[in-house]
């Protein structure tokens, strides 16, 4: 015979269980409020101001400002600089990250430090370096002018400066990712008979594709928005060596506020597109 012993259910007051890591409501409200206020003052207000000022004198003025020949030339130059520097950074970044993450060699730490250099050097100094090297009074100045080559105060200088300030982005994004993934999959590929090239295309790159895209987006945003380094090497020749950020500065200095803000709004739009892309890539990346 068995006897069932029934335990009386304990009548505990029903109370939502608080998570151990949760803060009291007032703390949460305060922190969220502070964060929002900070974002509002430093991001939303300036962003709104750009579009407000750009359109204050009407759509006509806005349209005229962004379609006048000098503005279009600035857009073209900006796109050109990005179109050259981003693919170069892509190739360089992949090569550097591959070397650093997958191989052991002497001087590896030096290479990592060098890749970070553009982050730690002020962009103005970066521009100045190119002036000192390629400018008229610079190391190669004489030789360049003898052969009728112009780098400083011309398009090549702008491209060079842009490459310099953007080159850590792709490599920096890929190195930790590749290091975390290790070399086992590459070893597996080689054992299965894949060549080095096949291993790169079929294993290494597909594994880092989202990180790569992320690095490219960041690098592109910086390439289009760079001011300091480009400003030093550009010479500010309207319609020839002005990028979008430089064009904004010139217009502003000439008190053409509506036009300056209209051009600035193009850059702001670009930033927003970049952010959306970045958020999308980050979500795919996380999967």
Partner 1 sequence: MSIEVKNVNRRFGNFAALDDVSLEVQTGELLALLGPSGSGKTTLLRVIAGLETVDSGQVLFHGEDATSQHVRDRRVGFVFQHYALFRHLSIFENVAFGLRVRPKANRPGEAEIRRKVMELLELVQLDWLADRYPHQLSGGQRQRIALARALAVEPRVLLLDEPFGALDAKVRKELRTWLRRLHDEMHITSVFVTHDQDEALEVSDRVVVMNEGRIQQIGTPQEVYDHPVNAFVYQFLGNVNLFHGRVDEGTALIGPAGLPVPAHGETTVGQAIAAYARPHDIELIRPRQGELGISARVEHLLAVGPIVRVDLRPDDSDAPIHAEIPRDQAARLALVAGDRVLVRPRQVRVFAA
Which positions lie near partner 1, rule CB under 8 A? Answer: 184-185, 187-195, 198, 202-203, 206-207, 209
Output 142 or 187, the one with its CB closest to partner 1: 187
Q: How many CB atoms lie within 10 A of CB 155?
A: 16
The CA distance from 91 to 287, in Å, is 25
Q: How many CB atoms lie within 10 A of CB 231?
A: 20
- Quick one: DSSP state of residue 183? S
Output 69 or 193, the one with its CB closest to partner 1: 193
The CA distance from 81 to 158, in Å, is 7
Q: Is the dihedral of CA 152, 155, 156, 160 positive or negative?
A: positive
Report in angstroms how near the CB of residue 220 gets to partner 1 at its nearest: 24
Which of 179, 187, 170, 173 lies closest to 104, judged by CA? Answer: 179
Output 65 or 203, the one with its CB closest to partner 1: 203
Output 60 or 193, the one with its CB closest to partner 1: 193
Report in angstroms how near the CB of residue 205 gets to partner 1 at its nearest: 10
Report in angstroms how near the CB of residue 180 gets to partner 1 at its nearest: 12
Output 162 or 204, the one with its CB closest to partner 1: 204
Which of 160, 150, 169, 165 lies closest to 80, judged by CA? Answer: 160
Output 185 or 249, the one with its CB closest to partner 1: 185
Report in angstroms how near the CB of residue 281 gets to partner 1 at its nearest: 16
Report in angstroms how near the CB of residue 105 gets to partner 1 at its nearest: 15
Output 58 or 196, the one with its CB closest to partner 1: 196
**What DSSP line would sit under 95-110, residue for residue?**
HHHHHHHH---TTHHH
Output 67 or 195, the one with its CB closest to partner 1: 195
The CA distance from 287 to 282, in Å, is 9
Report in angstroms how near the CB of residue 73 gets to partner 1 at its nearest: 43
Report in angstroms how near the CB of residue 96 gets to partner 1 at its nearest: 22
Is the Cβ–Cβ distance between 225 and 247 less than 8 Å? no
User: Using a CB cutoff of 8 Å and minimum separation of 24, what contacts does 156-160 make?
Assistant: 157/130, 157/233, 157/234, 157/241, 158/77, 158/81, 158/230, 158/233, 158/234, 158/241, 158/243, 159/80, 159/81, 159/84, 159/85, 160/130, 160/134, 160/233
Report in angstroms how near the CB of residue 175 gets to partner 1 at its nearest: 19
């Amino acid at each position: 015979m068995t006897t069932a012993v029934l335990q009386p259910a304990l009548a505990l007051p029903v109370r939502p269980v608080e998570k151990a890591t949760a803060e009291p409501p007032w703390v949460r409200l305060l922190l969220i409020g502070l964060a929002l206020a900070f974002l509002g003052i430093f991001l939303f207000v300036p962003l709104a101001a750009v579009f407000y000022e750009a359109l204050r004198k009407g759509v006509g003025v806005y349209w005229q400002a962004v379609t006048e020949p000098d503005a279009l030339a600035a857009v073209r130059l900006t796109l050109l600089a990005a179109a050259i520097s981003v693919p170069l950074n892509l190739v360089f970044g992949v090569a550097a990250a591959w070397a650093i993450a997958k191989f052991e060699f002497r001087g590896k730490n030096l290479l990592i430090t060098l890749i970070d250099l553009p982050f730690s050097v002020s962009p103005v100094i970066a521009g100045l370096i190119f002036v000192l090297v390629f400018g008229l009074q610079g190391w190669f100045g004489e030789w360049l002018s003898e052969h009728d080559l112009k780098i400083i105060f011309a398009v090549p200088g702008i491209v060079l400066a842009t490459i310099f300030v953007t080159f850590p982005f792709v490599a920096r994004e890929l190195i930790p990712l590749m290091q975390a993934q290790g070399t086992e999959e590459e070893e597996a590929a080689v054992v299965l008979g894949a060549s080095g090239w096949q291993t790169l295309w079929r294993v290494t790159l597909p594994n880092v594709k989202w990180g790569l895209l992320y690095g490219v987006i960041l690098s592109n945003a910086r390439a289009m928005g760079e001011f300091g380094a480009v400003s030093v090497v550009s010479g500010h020749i309207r319609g020839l060596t002005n990028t979008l950020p430089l064009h904004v500065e010139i217009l502003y200095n000439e008190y053409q506020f509506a036009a300056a803000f209209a051009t600035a709004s193009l850059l702001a739009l670009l930033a927003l597109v970049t952010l959306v892309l970045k958020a999308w890539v980050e979500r795919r990346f996380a999967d």
